[in-house]
Structure formats: C-alpha cells, structure tokens
Amino acid sequence: MLKRLFFLLFPVSVYAQTEIPLNDLSQFQKPSANWSIEGQIVGTPQGEALVTTPGKGILVNTLKAAKYQRTDDLVFALEHGDIRLSLDYMIPKGSNSGIYLQSRYEVQILDSWLKLRPSDGDAGAIYHRWDESRGAGKEGYEGHPPRQNAIKAPGLWNHIEIDFQAPKFDANGKKIANAKFVKITLNGVLLHENVELLGVTRGAVSTQETSKAPLMIQGDHGQVAFKNIRYEVFDKPLVQMGTAEYAYYKGKLADLKVKDQKPEVTGTTKEPSMKLAEAKSDFLLRFDGTITIPEKDTYTFTTNWTGTGALLVDNDTITTGSHWYNEDVQGKRTLTAGVHKYTLYYAKDFGWGPRALGCFVERVGTHRQSITERTSLPEPEATPLVEITIDQEPKLQRSFVVYNNRKKTHAISVGLPGGLNFSYDLNQGGFLECWRGKFLDATQMWHDRGEPQTAAPMGVTIQSNGKFPLAFIASANASFPDSLNKAELKYKGYQLVKQENGVAYPVFTYEYNGLSIKDQTIGSAKNEGLVRRLQIGGNAISSQPLYALVAEGEVIKNVGKNLYAINNQTYYLELLGETANQQAVVRQSNGKTQLLIPVSGLKEVSYQVTF
Amino acid sequence: MKRYYQLLLSLGLLGLGASSGIAQNKPKPLTEDDFYEIKTVAIPDGIRLEAGGLAPMPDGRLGVCTRRGEVWIIENPYQTNGTKPSYKLFASGLHESLGLAYRDGSFYCTQRGELTKLTDTDGDDKADLYENVANWDLSGNYHEYSYGPVFDKNGDMYLTFNVAWVGYGEGKLAKWRGWLVKVTKEGKLEPVATGLRSPAGFTVNSNGDVLFGENQGDWVGSGRVTHLEKGDFAGNAGGLYWTKEPDSPLKLTREDLPDTGEPMYEAAKKVKALKLPAVWFPHAIMGISTADMIEDETNGKFGPFQGQYIVFDQGQSKAMRMSLEKVNGKYQGACYPFREGFQSGTVRARWGNDGSIFVGMTSRGWGSTGKDLYGLQRLVWNGRLPFEMKTISARPDGFEIEFTQPVDAKTASNASSYELKSFTYKYHHNYGSPIINQEKTPLKGIIVSADRKKVRLVIDNLRKGYIHEVRPSGILNEEGQPLLHEVGYYTLNNIPDGEAAQLTEAQKVKASTTPAPSTSTPAKKTTPINGTKKVAEAGLIDSKQVAALLKKHACTSCHAEATRVVGPPFTEVAKRNYTNEQILELVYHPKPENWPDYATEMASMTHVPKADVLKIAAWINALGKKKAQADLNKLENHD
C-alpha cells in the first residue's frame, strides 16, 4: 500500500506574484532627490558608502547621515492591506533604514552585523512603539526583537520576506482585528511568526490605524539599496461556497469507482467533511457541490487527503492520486464568473493514518479559502525542536546533510563559539554550507527514530561547492574535478587541536596524491568570517601544478585588495597570507565563475569567507 | 505478582496429590529477582544515555556510546557501597553510534558510515583524535544501521550492516548492506557472509566463531541466532545484490532462492549456502527483536551457566539464555527465558569485570516493554542457585534435560509433568511468519538419572529442522519448588547418532497418560481452587486464571492492563468494543493498521489455543465494562 502513496517533497509556491519595475521612480509618490535608480552597486564589509554604476534595476537611497526629514522617506504608489512582500536590500557599514507596512508598522533595517543578541531596534526587528508620555527612557515599548540576528555583512544582499495582515475594522470603523506579521524571514531565517501589533510603531506617518495605506521605506538614516521588490495583495472578491450533496459508501474503493453499489448514507451538507464517514477505513465519500466564481481568472485548487481522492470541477479532473494528508496536491483552472459544479471524492482503504480531507481554492489576490469543513483536515502533529547549541567550545556533529536536494551521508557540521558554523563533506573534504547564527536543528535525526537522519543549519546560510579545494590540474584553463574518489583522496580523520586559549578546534586530515593535507577552519578575530587554512605536507606524486579552487558562483567581483564578492554579492572571499601573493584567476568553467589560485609549492593555502 | 498466583495455584493442587516428598509448609514462591538482580546505574539528569554500545575498561570504568553520537566514560559504574558513578563526556558528534569496543587505550566505535578509533592523546579523558579506520557507503536510508566492532583473537574486527527499509529489506542501495564484514587491523574491509537483515547483536565466541542475532522480518519468520562462516547466506535476500562483486565469498543470487513459504530447513536443502539458525527464538514468545548476546566465560561468577549465552531482546526488555552443542559439526541448541524487567530496550550487553552484565538500553522510536527511553542497568547473580533446565540436548530418540539441581523423582517420572510439541516458520519474502506445521511429539519414555540431575525424554515424531518446545512444567526439585522457567525451545537441525535408550517398563509412558500437547494449559494450572471454577463456568471471569494465561502465552511481554507497553493496554483494546470472537480473529490475524501509534507490529498468535484466547477476550471486554461502570460512578458521584 505504502508504495502507492506518492510523496511530494518540494511543493512549489510562489511567494509574491507581482514585481515592481525599477526602471525609473514612477512607482513612487513624489520621490525626493535622495532616491535614484542604478544598475550596479558595490560595497565592502568595512566600507561606509556603496558605490553605484548607472543602469536599471536597483533602487538606491544616496542620502548619507542627513538630518531627519520626513520627505526623505520613499512612499510607494502601491497602497495595501494584507500583503506578502519580498525584496533584496543592501546597506553599507553603519546605515539604517526600514520597511514600513502601511507606512505605519516598521520592519527594521540596520547594520547590526555581528551583534550576538539583537534588540527590538536591530535588523529584522519589528520596531518598538513610542510614547513620550511614558517618561524619559521608557518611551519605547512593545517592540519585537528578531529570534536571532540574521543580517549579512555590509555590502552584501539580504533577502527578506514579509507576510503582513492589516488591521480589520467593522462597519462603524471600530478595530476588530490587530495588524499582524504572519511571518518574517530574513536571509531564510525565520524571525517572527504570528506577531500581533497593538498599534503603530515609532516613526509611523500616523497613529491612526487604517485598512489600506501605501508601503513606505525610510530614507533619512543613510544609504540603502533595494532590488527584486515583489508583492501580492489580497483584495479581490472571494469565491462563494454552495451546499453539497454527499454519499457514503463502504468498501475498498481506492479506484473511486462505486459502479452500481448503493450508498450507505446520503444527505446534504454545508461543507464537505471526512467526518461524514462512519468507518475509520474502507469507505468512499463523494460530494457534489457548487462554487460561485466572482470573476474570470485562474484559480488554484489545493487538495489534501490520506488515501486516495479526486477533485473535479465541471467534470474536469483537477487533482487526483494517493497521498498523505500533509502533501498539498494542486491544480489550476481558468474559470468564468458564475456557478460551477464540483465533485470531491475521498476513499481510504487502509487502517493506519488519520482520516483527512481538505479542499481549498485561491487565486492571485485572495487568501486561500476552504471548501471543506475546518476540522476535516487535521493539523500536523506537534514535533518538538531538537536543537544543538554552542557554548564555550566548538561542537561537531555527524549526520546526513541535505545538499542540492540530495543526502550527503558522510557529513559533519561544526559549530564554533561566536556564531559561525559550517557543514563539511568528509568524503570530499569540502564545505557544503557555512552559516551564521544558531547551530543545528537535529529534530529530523533525534526525534522518534529519526528516519531522515538529517541535521540542518539554523542560521544565515551560504552554500559552498562541496569540493576538495585542491587539485593537480594541467593548467589554469583545465577544468577542476567535481569530486575525487577514495583512491585519490583518503580521509584519515580529524584531531581536536587546542588553540592558545585552550579551546580545541578540529583539523581534518587527508592524503591527496602523496600530499598530506591538514584542513582547519576557525572564526576570524571578531567572527566576521570563517578562516580556512589548508596546510600542505608530503611529496606530490603528480607532475601537474597544484591549484586551489576557493570560490565558485554565478558572478565573482573583485571589490577590494584580495577581496572578492561571490555569487552576486552573497558573500565575500578574502585571500590571506601567502595565498594572497599568488596570481588569482577569475574564470568561466562549465557555466560557472571560479576563483582559482595557483598554489604549487605553498605550505599553506588560506582564505576567509565573510558574510 | 502474576507469577506468584500461578505458582500458588500449581503448588496448591500438587499439594493435594500424593507427592510425599514435598515439605508440609508451602515453600515461598521464587522469582527471577531471587537469583538475578537488576541494579540500575544512576544517570545524571540531562544526560540522554541512549546506549548503543558498551565497552568495559580493564580499570573498572565503563565506556558507553549513544545513539546521539556521544561516548561517555563512567567511573565507578558498580556503585560500590552505595557510591555514585561519575560521567565524563569522552567523545561526541558521532552519527548514531551503535557499537563500542576498548582496546589498547583507544575506543573503537561504529558510526553509521565509519569505524572510528577514538584516542585521548593528552590525558584529559577527552578524545582528541578521531581516526577513520574504515568507512563504507550509505544510501541515506535510516534503516542502514551499522553495528560493531567485535574483535577477534587476531585483533581484526567484525561489523554487521543492516539492509535498508523500502517497504522490504533492500541491500543494493549501498555496498555490503546486509553483510557481516571484517575490518583488518590495517583497515581493509572484507565481506564475510550475507543474508543479514537487522543484525543488532553478534559475538565472537570462545572458539572464535561468529554468532549473530536476527530480527524477525522479510525472509525471517522469527528471531534467531545463526553461526556465520565465510560464504554463508543467513536468509534475507537484500544483501545478495553484492555477490557479483569479485571479492564476494559466495555467488548466490536472489533468483536462486525458493520463495515458497516452505520451512527454511526445506529451502536449505535446495540452497547450499543457506545457513540454518543454530537456535530459533519463537517470535513474541521469546522476544520480538533479538539484540546483543554474550557468552558466559565467568567461571561461575554469573551462576551455573558457564559456556552458555545470554541473549537480549530489545523490544521485550529482557534477557534470555541459549545453550549450544555441536551435532554433526554444526551448532544447534535451545533457548530459555531468563530475566525480564529491564527499564528500556535492551540492545547492548557486556560483561563487567566482576562477572555481572552491563545492559545498555534505548527505545526511542523503536518501542520497548521497559518504559524508559534509555537506561543502563547491571544484571548480577546473587549466589543462589535457581532451579532451571540447565541444558536441553538432542539425543537420537529425543532430548536430555540437565537440571541445575536434583529433581524430585516422582514428578520427573510422571508423564503429565511434560508438554511437548514442535513447529516451525515459513521461509518467504513476506514479513514474519505464522507458526506452521505444529505437531505433537508424544512422550514414549522417561529416564531419570541416578543423581536425578538429568532426565532423558524418549519421544515420537522427532522432526529434523523443527523447533521442539520442551515444557516440563510439573517437575519439582527436592524442596518442592517448580522450575523458575518451565520452557525451552530446541532447534533440531540435526539428530545425533547413537544408541536409542533402553526403556524399562517403569520408564515407558502409557499412551493414555500422555498429555495432549498444543492444547490449553494442563488442568492443574488453570483449574482454580476454592470453587472458583464454577464461577468461571457461570460466565464470570477469573482474573487470576487470565493472568496466568497472559503470562504463559507471553501476552504480558507486550501488553499491560492499563499502561502502554510495546502494544496498547488491554483497557484501550476494550474501548474498541470488539466481540470476543473479533478479538480472537485479531489475535490470530493482527491488524497493525488499527494501532498506527505503535511502532512494533503484533505477531500472529495462532499457536495460542482458541479457548484461552476467548477467556482473555472476555476478560478484556469485562475491563471495558468495569471502566464504563467506574466512569458512570464518577458521573453519579459528581452530581
């Protein structure tokens, strides 16, 4: 039976549908002179200014440390109530800005890089409210610091996603629901979920709450740049649900065919529900109902069931198959305005697992609406988080690690004091991911029997290439190997080597074509980045020159002395020591840009990954 | 307490008989705890000691590795004079380490994908060197557990590799899954034998032979212990994918296997490499998930079982005993109940330096009768001699039982003291097997040795390849005590040559007195005294009698009246409002899907007589009524 159930591992969802074009400033209300549209922008970790290049696609505030002026803020033409917003932003060192939902509720942008305990004034915070009548030093209140600091180094792009619900009012204008941040993630890290705001935050254009108002960006506290601004607002008319006839059949009917079998029960229901089935298994429910479509559009139907089911609209099959109830099975149809018939089947022919039936409809511009009754689809089981935390000493933890949608089976995650972490493929001697923030989520390994046996980063993550960084290749034009076999690269183990402060850090040891490589990664002085040192000993048995591939990505930009911004400015790579004296090569290879260093004869290859 | 009632009943009735050798005063009934004590090693708050491996050190400390990848060194684990143990975290970060050994100052630990040597080079009791001794491929499937190492005399190491679980046991997803492998001192990995499914426990015995415990599953009708030699195939098809490799010691393929459901003994006639188990452990009766085993080499420090094996069962949180002999050059023997009541899933066991056994436990996600998620206990013999079947050995015409104490000649010579039968399991790709081909093995003669420590049973219908149940439940010792455990299961792969016993008339069993095996418990045990029999017949339920049945049929290994154990409590079953007949049907043909919250599926219990199941069913349903009545009372009282 189990084999019949298909598991959808990566349901695709588009977060925000509409992109605001950044060809000019026409999308904004009376933009002040400090705002411009640029083509490229470059910064460095310590640089207090971003350097722009003319062009299109990037919105930049060039005002530097100006005196507070309300008119420096940028008000969007877009007025919104409920909204999902996603965008990328970049700031230089020390800068400050903010995203004001409805010009009233601020998600803070600030150079909070390296701060270990962010407050309600730091990047990713829902900024506090302000009331001078509370007395000096107590004016700020009801702020929400982020769950952890998730901002990257100055000069790198940050990606934020915000799901916001506007306050709701009754016909008399009385507020009946607070404004709410349903979810905020920064650089993939969940910072807030379902946080209600009792009023507007500091700096709001008005203390008066409203159902619709423009989006606004703060522009009076320093440089900031934005791109990829996308949104979805939820203001379109809803689908109306009609009643449904239902029929309940007994038996193993996973083919959804009842032939001439008589139903045990028939009736009418306001909302379809699996609870109309009497048995725990071996039954089929059929619902025939109507929905009224308000206007012609493309509608997405989502169904969930444990067992087998099908949704037909106007006798056209939208979704079908055998699934577990936590999987969203989706189908789209363009429907005209007016009444449409639907048929919903649900059959369960095995005993395990809960009975579950969910059916939903949505379109761009509306929230998901339920066709089925609320309790017909059970909520997922509550699973406690199993977190591995770092205290004074580094921690290492082997597990499977999901990398490019595949499991790396011989992987180890290393968490360092100071908030930097990395995962490492022991078979290849390569970084998989580096991250800043909390260490490791081991729930999928240590909850229950831990069938996935995976552990995952809990902070801001940079993906690396998983490759051993050294290789003997014919020349700087030759391709670098994707992986090495056990005969070429032999993993020997690791040693925990004590530093001067008595704290022990791992050194991974490999044999590679006669060379003995010791690979150690520690945090830089202030934990700006991970410093990797590959000590090279032994005698090479290859006659080819030795190269180090230190970075790989879409675009690599040289942004300072020995400093490169990698993969569209998602992290920096700095060459250190002797490695910095080599003639670095930025090249194209197999569709990627690579940063290659000739290192023949070097005793150490070292570089820093900063983010 | 349940056992207490059972013994009382049995003794009470025998007291009415003519057994003049028995003392006037009823002896105090004895329990496992009167001989083998379980001592809990205290675990500090905050340490999750999900023991996967144990390694006692020569200096009296104990190394424990856990499923969370830690290695702890416990100083003072014997808690001498009530002192406390002290825990030090020696190593961490390993991947579900399920085996640990200590050798020449280093620990050797098996992680999922690597055998790692852990060494403290700077004397702070913390490993700083994690050396890769050998590693192997994994697919990423959770069921590809890796176990070991167990050292042999040469200093080479054995490891066992589970197959993956993809709805069945699959070996092809990663090389050597489903195999016993040897890793030489130099780190070379050599395949030895395959056909392993879930080999959580294995040992290299004093002869240097590898014995491994198997878990019931596909191609495995029941738990068992098998002796593995190079080139052997132990039964599960998963690992056969790799026999095409040049260094495979056998060439058998999946297509060579008969998948007919015939007994494994029959299949082995067709498949030369197919290795028969030395001892079957009947499923649910003698465990549900065979785990570690250790040979008693304590020279008496652990009691009278030198040379035998203590075999653990993770799911039922218990220890069993196994005696082996070699017949026609092959190991075979018997298993016996030994000690129940450990706190969690007993997965690992090692001898302490004092002849006690350290038992490492975990049940997270696997379930176990012991309700704790993890634990560490010690099994200690207290010097008193239990009255047990020490060994059951095969004879050309039956079996010989050796007892730990002289038996009472009267009960030992009485044919009604014995119940005998034989059965086996199907060999097929399906998961598990019902008991099949169960037949009577009528008793023809009984010879009690002059020293009364041995009883030779001459029986009819000895069947090669079958599991022979030997239950001398009526035998008493000189003090009038019954056996501490009344049953053993002998796996008769081979019948030894030799002379048949010469029976005197007195030793011959009259046909009429031969009890009918494979039916319900003898009357002496189930017939309650004090006239409760009438009550039972009147349709009311005698809970003492049911308690005895639950115990006898091993129901209590997995179920308790009101608390969740491996399976649901009887009170929960009662809530389902099954009829007695429906319960009977479910006992014979369980539907695990009815209980999705339980990790371990119930085995088919068709060997339990219908009458017994119906009594149990009636009792279960009465529990429901009791509960309903109690709830009603509560409501009424509330008013």
pLDDT digits (tens, 9 = 90+) for B47-59: 999 999 999 999 9
Residue A328 contacts residue A278 (beta carbons within 8 Å)? no
Q: What's the rounded Cα separation, in Å, for the pair A190 and A161? A: 9
Structural fold of domain A237-376: Jelly Rolls (2.60.120)
Q: What's the rounded Cα separation, in Å, for the pair B349 and B156? A: 20
Binary contact (B592, A410; C-beta < 8 A): no
- Nearest CA to A99 out of A119, A84, A117 is that of A84
What is the structure's pLDDT at B528? 39
What is the structure's pLDDT at B359? 98
What pTM was computed for the model?
A: 0.89
pLDDT of B520 higher than 70: no
What is the structure's pLDDT at B131? 98
Q: Which chain B residue has its CA at the smallest distance from A1's CA?
A: B167
B188 interface with A at CB cutoff 8 Å: no
Q: Is B338 left (phi over 0), alpha (psi -120 to 50) or beta?
A: alpha
- Cβ burial B601-638 (10 Å sphere, 16+ → b, else e): bbbbbebbeeebbebbbbbbbbbbeeeeeeeeeeeeee
Binary contact (A497, B140; C-beta < 8 A): no
The two tokens of residue A518 are: 């010791």
- Nearest CA to B164 out of B189, B135, B126, B196 is that of B196
Nearest to B132 among A399, A491, A504 (CB): A491
User: B596 or B455: whose pLDDT is higher?
Assistant: B455
What is the structure's pLDDT at B628? 52
Binary contact (A398, B364; C-beta < 8 A): no
Identify all chain B residues contacting A352, using CB atoms and an 8 Å cutoff: 592-593, 596
User: A241 or B585: whose pLDDT is higher?
Assistant: A241
Residues B574-591 have a mean pLDDT of: 85
Q: What is the DSSP string of B418-441?
A: -EEEEEEEB-SSSBS--EEEEEE-
Q: What's the rounded Cα separation, in Å, for the pair B96 and B65? A: 9
What is the structure's pLDDT at B516? 47
Residues A574-592 have a mean pLDDT of: 96
Amino acid, res. A15: Y
Binary contact (B132, A398; C-beta < 8 A): no
Q: What's the rounded Cα separation, in Å, for the pair B206 and A228? A: 71
**Residue B26 confidence class, pLDDT cut points 50, 70, 90:** low
Binary contact (A504, B128; C-beta < 8 A): yes
Structural fold of domain A18-233: Jelly Rolls (2.60.120)
Binary contact (A397, B130; C-beta < 8 A): no
Q: What ipTM, to 2 d.p.? A: 0.92
List beta partners, residue A193.
A183
What is the structure's pLDDT at A523? 96
Identify all chain B residues contacting A395, using CB atoms and an 8 Å cutoff: 92-93
Q: What's the rounded Cα separation, in Å, for the pair B163 and B177? A: 5
Nearest to B167 among A2, A351, A451 (CB): A2
Binary contact (A409, B129; C-beta < 8 A): no
State the CB neighbour count (10 A cutoff) for residue A538: 12
CA distances (Å), B257 to each of B4, B245, B271, B277, in order?
48, 19, 7, 17
Nearest to B140 among A400, A448, A449 (CB): A400
If you count them, how many residues does chain B have?
639
Residues A466-492 have a mean pLDDT of: 96
Q: What's the rounded Cα separation, in Å, for the pair B446 and A341? A: 82
Binary contact (B593, A494; C-beta < 8 A): no
What is the structure's pLDDT at B629? 53
- Highest CATH level, class, for B2-30+387-524: mainly beta
Of the listed ranges A263-267, B215-219, B271-275, B560-564, the one predicted with least confidence? B560-564
What are the pLDDT digits (tens) for B553-566?
878 878 888 888 77
Q: How far is A390 from chain B (nearest CA, A)?
A: 13
Domain parsing of chain A, residue ranges:
18-233, 237-376, 383-463, 467-611
Residue B239 contacts residue B178 (beta carbons within 8 Å)? yes
Residues A578-607 have a mean pLDDT of: 97
The two tokens of residue A492 are: 């020997």
Q: What's the rounded Cα separation, in Å, for the pair A494 and A508? A: 4
Helices (H) and strands (E) in chain B, counts: 9, 34
Residues B573-596 have a mean pLDDT of: 83
Share of chain B above pLDDT 90, in %: 75
What are the pLDDT digits (tens) for A68-113?
788 899 999 999 999 999 999 999 999 999 999 999 999 999 999 9
**Mean pLDDT over each residue of chain A, to the nearest integer:** 95
Q: What is the DSSP string of B97-163?
A: --EEEEETTEEEEE-SSEEEEEE-SSSSSS--EEEEEEE----S-TT--EEEEEE-TTS-EEEEEPP
Q: Which of B176, B593, B594, B597 to mutate to test the interface with A (most CBs of A within 10 A)?
A: B593
**Residue B599 confidence class, pLDDT cut points 50, 70, 90:** confident
Binary contact (B113, A409; C-beta < 8 A): yes
DSSP single-letter state for residue A577? G
**Range B56-340: architecture per CATH:** 6 Propeller (2.120)
Which residues lie below 8 Å from residue A135, measured CB to CB, with a gap of 6+?
A: none
pLDDT of B524 higher than 60: no
Binary contact (B131, A504; C-beta < 8 A): no
Domain parsing of chain B, residue ranges:
2-30+387-524, 56-340, 528-638
What is the structure's pLDDT at B175? 98
pLDDT of B18 higher than 60: no
**Residue B540 confidence class, pLDDT cut points 50, 70, 90:** low
Q: How far is A182 from chain B (nearest CA, A)?
A: 32
- Nearest CA to A163 out of A79, A234, A83, A232 is that of A83
Most confident of A63-77, A356-370, B7-21, B555-569: A356-370
Helix, strand, coil percentages in chain A from 3-state DSSP, rounded to 5: 5, 50, 45
Identify all chain B residues contacting A493, using CB atoms and an 8 Å cutoff: 116-117, 129-132
B592 interface with A at CB cutoff 8 Å: yes
Decide the pairing of beta strands B419-425 and B466-471: antiparallel
Q: What's the rounded Cα separation, in Å, for the pair A235 and A79? A: 11
Residues A349-354 have a mean pLDDT of: 87
List beta partners, residue A510.
A491, A517
**Residue B7 confidence class, pLDDT cut points 50, 70, 90:** very low
How many residue contacts between A and B have a Cβ separation below 8 Å? Answer: 88
Structural fold of domain B528-638: Cytochrome Bc1 Complex; Chain D, domain 2 (1.10.760)
What is the structure's pLDDT at B632? 45
What is the structure's pLDDT at B272? 96
Which residues lie below 8 Å from residue B28, measured CB to CB, with a gap of 6+?
A: none
What are the pLDDT digits (tens) for B179-209?
999 999 999 999 999 999 999 999 999 999 9
Q: Which chain A residue has its CA at the smallest distance from B97's CA?
A: A398
B124 interface with A at CB cutoff 8 Å: no
What is the structure's pLDDT at A351? 83
Residues A545-563 have a mean pLDDT of: 96
What are the pLDDT digits (tens) for B351-390?
999 999 999 999 999 999 999 999 999 999 999 999 999 9
Element (H, E) at A174: none
What are the pLDDT digits (tens) for B136-172?
999 999 999 999 999 999 999 999 999 999 989 999 9
Portion 30-69 of B in contact with A at CB < 8 A: 67-69
What are the pLDDT digits (tens) for B319-360?
999 999 999 999 999 999 999 999 999 999 999 999 999 999
List beta partners, residue A267.
A246
Amino acid, res. A369: Q
What is the structure's pLDDT at B537? 41
What is the structure's pLDDT at B1? 38
Q: How far is A253 from chain B (nearest CA, A)?
A: 17
The two tokens of residue A326 are: 């936590």
Q: Which of B48, B50, B70, B96 to mutate to test the interface with A (most CBs of A within 10 A)?
A: B96
